[in-house]
Amino acid sequence: MDSVVFLIDMQSFYASIEKARRPELKNRPVVVSGDPERRSGVVLAACPIAKSYGIKNATTLWEAWQHCPHLTVVRPRMELYLQASLRITGILERFSDLVEPYSIDEQFLSVKGSEKLFGEPEEMAKKIQDAIRTEMDIYGRIGIGPNKVLSKMACDNFAKKNKTGIFQLTRDNMKKYLWPLPVDRMFGVGRRMSRHLQRMGIRTIGELACFPLERLKKRWGVNGHILWLTANGIDTSPVTRESFSQQKAIGHHMTLPRDYRTPEEIRVILLELCEEVCRRTRSHHLMGQTVTVGCRGASFEFPSGFHRQMKMPDPTNQTMEVFQHAWKLFDKFWDEQPIRSLGVSLSQLQRDDTVQLSLFADRDKEMQLGYVMDEIKQRFGATAILRASSLTPAGQAIERSRKIGGHYK
């Protein structure tokens, strides 16, 4: 027998939270947007009233004001939104113990077996909606399906557009409702893939579902197979609480507050990024052997940048060791043009309880130093101990300590 999976999506999540906390904003067009002076002046969330003026997520703030001059702009408070997301998880856990966060405003819920307590799926979905609205004053849309991929498409394509905010896709009705939709409405199909599929004569999800599988696999390999499975509503991935427990890589990316032009100031940011990546790697008691560096140029008219990786001699989570290899990568591929963003990541992760010894350095002692620094920061704050370079004008460590996810707490 099929499972029953819900995908619960919070409408205009950030904006809804702000409106719930500030009743005077209830009937106003509201958007949550970052700081324009620090290059984050884009709309993160627009309430339904703001959307009625043509304002969409990711619209620049100046474009939003052109659509609606009397727009109310609220700066994001990420810590508040994370707390709200956790509260919603707690509400969902009353209906099932299998809750899987998909993003800060979307969560999967497996409810098979809960029907005896809460009724049939649509009745249960209504109870979940009512609970979230009563306790959080936030409206949730719910897609229902026999698996995660169908519940996601039920939510995105139907629940968000009907009056009840609830829609159920089944294996019996998916051909009627899902297959006639344009192929770019399918989960996993972006603009580029949509163009490729249309060139092959595939314009709807149903046409993709009926397309010869071998031709798709020959063209895109495993990805072609996944596209075919998704179009046919096949998804065997379970709803699990452990979806984020096995990371393949740990990284950190930063959009810079201004153009960084010189090697000296870029080295400062690169070192800070390596520090953060290694701290997070140590927090999971892991080490990485492959370091990846990526950057984007400052020019929007002539995009530039690179994304390169290299394998280090030994797995490590030492900041300076990772930084030395990261700088070699950057120095090799940088075109010496100003950059506007920079990122570092570690992959090929493994446990940190086995260390390759060296005749020329006490690697065990050097690794322990990193853990001591982490403990100091955990006890006394992220800025309790800093590298001197972070105190220069190029440093951003102090500013980042005030933020979550690139936005102020």
- Domain of 139, CATH number, reads 3.30.70.270
Q: Residue 319 sits in a domain of what CATH number?
A: 3.30.1490.100
Distance of CA 340 to the CA centre of its chain: 20
Shared-domain flag, residues 265 and 125:
no
Domain carrying residue 20: 1-168
106 tagged catalytic: yes
Task: Indicate the burial class of 195 (C-beta count within 10 angstroms; 0-12, 13-18, 19 or more).
Answer: exposed
Count of CA atoms in the C-beta half-sphere (13 A) of 355: 17
Shared-domain flag, residues 342 and 223:
no
Predicted confidence pLDDT, tens digits, the chain (409 residues):
468 999 999 999 999 999 999 999 999 999 998 765 554 578 999 999 999 999 998 888 888 989 999 999 998 888 899 999 999 999 999 999 999 999 999 999 999 888 889 999 999 999 999 999 999 999 999 999 999 999 999 999 999 999 999 999 999 999 999 999 999 999 999 889 999 999 999 999 999 999 999 999 999 999 999 999 999 999 999 998 775 555 688 999 988 889 999 999 999 999 999 999 999 999 988 999 999 999 999 887 788 899 999 999 989 999 999 999 999 999 999 999 999 999 999 999 988 876 666 656 666 777 788 888 888 988 888 888 888 998 998 888 888 777 766 666 6
**Which residues are annotated as part of the binding site for Mg(2+)?**
9, 105
Spatial separation of the C-alpha atoms in residues 60 and 303, rounded to whole Å: 19
Shared-domain flag, residues 193 and 267:
no
Shared-domain flag, residues 316 and 207:
no
Q: Which of 18, 100, 106, 275 is catalytic?
A: 106
Shared-domain flag, residues 330 and 195:
no
Q: Residue 192 sits in a domain of what CATH number?
A: 1.10.150.20
Shared-domain flag, residues 217 and 339:
no
pTM: 0.74
Shared-domain flag, residues 93 and 219:
no
As for how many domains the chain has, the answer is 3
Task: Indicate the burial class of 388 (C-beta count within 10 angstroms; 0-12, 13-18, 19 or more).
Answer: exposed
Shared-domain flag, residues 194 and 140:
no
Angle at 370 between CA 369 and CA 376, to 5 degrees: 90
Going by C-alpha positions, the residue among 123, 67, 75, 70 that lies closest to residue 95 is 123
161 domain-assigned: yes
Residue where a domain terminates, one of 121, 137, 168: 168
Which strand (E) or helix (H) includes residue 138? none
Spatial separation of the C-alpha atoms in residues 54 and 72, rounded to whole Å: 15
Shared-domain flag, residues 208 and 308:
no
244 domain-assigned: no
Identify the sign of the CA torsion 368, 373, 374, 376.
Answer: positive
Shared-domain flag, residues 18 and 99:
yes
258 domain-assigned: yes
Shared-domain flag, residues 269 and 338:
yes
Instruction: Calculate helix-pair angle for 78-92, 121-136, nearest 10 degrees.
Output: 140
241 domain-assigned: no
116 domain-assigned: yes
Shared-domain flag, residues 313 and 365:
yes
353 domain-assigned: yes
57 domain-assigned: yes
- Take residue 311 and report the two structure tokens written for it: 């394998």
Phi, psi (deg, nearest 5) at residue 316: -155, 160
Identify the sign of the CA torsion 68, 158, 78, 394.
Answer: negative
47 domain-assigned: yes
